[in-house]
């Protein structure tokens, strides 16, 4: 039986990964300091004999007794609202946390997969973004704390791979959505949905022409799982290339909610990327992966989840 450590295991993505590995018959250890994660996301696993939870901050020394086969490092604040509020913790979990876990992987002879992000591309000058693009990032801007933490994370992971021969995998995650996202997450999808459900104005930043590509969580988890088990050690984009402007996206959610909320415009935050669309050629050719959940279907499931969270029937 494979033994897997998922850091950030009580978070949105981490909790779905815990579910997947339990389903695959693995022993799963979820580790989280709960600064942005929520214990409710994994409560349903507490009674499972192959699941355990460690309340711990990976920026401090990480000890896991016994053998480990895989480490998936998903611990980090991930939305601007969180990393602007917790800039130093964000930098520490990407640097010290990653270093601690790479050391653990080396001592256990485990394979380690890190959760990188499309944010390493910054406000891209190349469209769509492929893995060979080096990015256009402002290291001292407000978003730099997240972008550079993830860029450093990739660099130290590659250094451990090249210098120590550690088995490593790097996934660059594009916008993902689905149940267990936080309503107050601050990103476009939860913001639009909670505003529509509360019959508030829907806030679009800038003129809404900036684009995003939204991938449903089950598709993302499948891509990550395939990458972990592959023998490919360089970064791989996992995301849905179906691109939409944020204004059109707000209208889609308005329609889904049957809402008469007005769309209002606010100034664009500094360094907000104007375009986001993954080139997923590598994922398709190396992993045989591509997204299968249609946005309409995924949005409906997510919307129902948010309704339930807000107690709206």
Q: Point out the residues that are catalytic.
A: 146
Element (H, E) at 245: strand 243-245
- Give the Cα separation of 303 and 300 in Å (integer): 5
Cα–Cα–Cα angle for 304, 305, 311, rounded to 5 degrees: 90
Write the burial class of residue 270 (CB in 10 Å: 0-12 exposed, 13-18 middle, 19+ buried).
exposed
- Give the Cα separation of 216 and 196 in Å (integer): 20
- CB-based contact 211:219 (threshold 8 Å): no
Hunting for tokens 């007005």 — which residue is that?
Answer: 262
Q: Which has the closest alpha carbon to 238: 301, 298, 288? A: 288
End-to-end alpha carbon distance in the chain: 42
């Amino acid at each position: 039986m494979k033994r897997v450590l998922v850091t950030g295991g009580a978070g949105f993505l981490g909790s779905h990964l815990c579910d997947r590995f339990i389903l695959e018959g693995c022993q799963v250890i979820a580790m989280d300091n709960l600064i942005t994660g929520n214990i409710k996301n994994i409560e349903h696993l507490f009674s499972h004999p192959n699941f355990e939870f460690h309340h711990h901050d990976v920026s401090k020394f990480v000890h896991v007794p016994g053998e480990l086969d895989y480490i998936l490092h998903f611990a980090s604040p991930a939305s601007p609202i969180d990393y602007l509020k917790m800039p130093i913790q964000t930098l520490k979990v990407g640097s010290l946390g990653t270093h601690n876990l790479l050391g653990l992987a080396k001592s256990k002879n485990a394979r380690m997969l890190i959760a990188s992000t499309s944010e390493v591309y910054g406000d891209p000058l190349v469209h769509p973004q492929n893995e060979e693009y080096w990015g256009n990032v402002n290291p001292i801007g407000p978003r730099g704390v997240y972008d550079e933490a993830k860029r450093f994370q990739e660099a130290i992971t590659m250094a451990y791979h090249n210098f120590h021969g550690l088995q490593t995998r790097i996934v660059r995650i594009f916008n993902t959505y689905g149940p267990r996202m936080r309503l107050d997450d601050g990103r476009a999808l939860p913001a639009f949905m909670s505003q529509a459900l509360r019959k508030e104005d829907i806030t679009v930043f800038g003129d809404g022409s900036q684009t995003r590509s939204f991938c449903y969580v089950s598709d993302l988890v499948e891509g990550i799982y395939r990458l972990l088990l592959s023998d490919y050690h360089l970064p791989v984009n996992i995301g849905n290339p179906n691109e939409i402007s944020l204004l059109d996206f707000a209208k889609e959610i308005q329609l889904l909610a049957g809402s008469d909320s007005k769309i209002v415009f606010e100034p664009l935050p500094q360094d907000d990327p104007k375009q986001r669309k993954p080139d997923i050629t590598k994922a398709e050719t190396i992993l045989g992966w591509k997204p299968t959940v249609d946005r309409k279907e995924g949005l409906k499931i997510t919307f129902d989840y948010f309704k339930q969270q807000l107690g709206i029937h």
